[in-house]
Amino acid sequence: MHDIEKEKRLKSIEEALTNYGGKLEIDPFVLKYLSLDELDSILIGLLKRQESIIQNNHDWLQQFKKDL
């Protein structure tokens, strides 16, 4: 069960890294060395970074919005 959870986290990390195109496969061998907490931390960091990028892009695009 523990390994299944780790595999799920690894897939989520791969998806977060490839949200904007491309393909990435992380070697499942890393599962032996990373805990669930470490995988969760990596995933949370990636999601926070994506959120920041999305917000920055939104803010940048707003400068081109015409006042109606």
Percent of the chain whose pLDDT exceeds 70: 90
User: Using one digit for the tens of pLDDT, what is the confidence trace for 5-17?
Assistant: 988 998 898 888 8
Burial of 13 (0-12, 13-18, 19+ CB in 10 A): buried
pLDDT value at position 41? 92
Are 16 and 50 a contacting pair, CB within 8 Å? yes
Confidence (pTM): 0.71
What does the pLDDT read at residue 38? Answer: 92
More confidently predicted of 63 and 44? 44
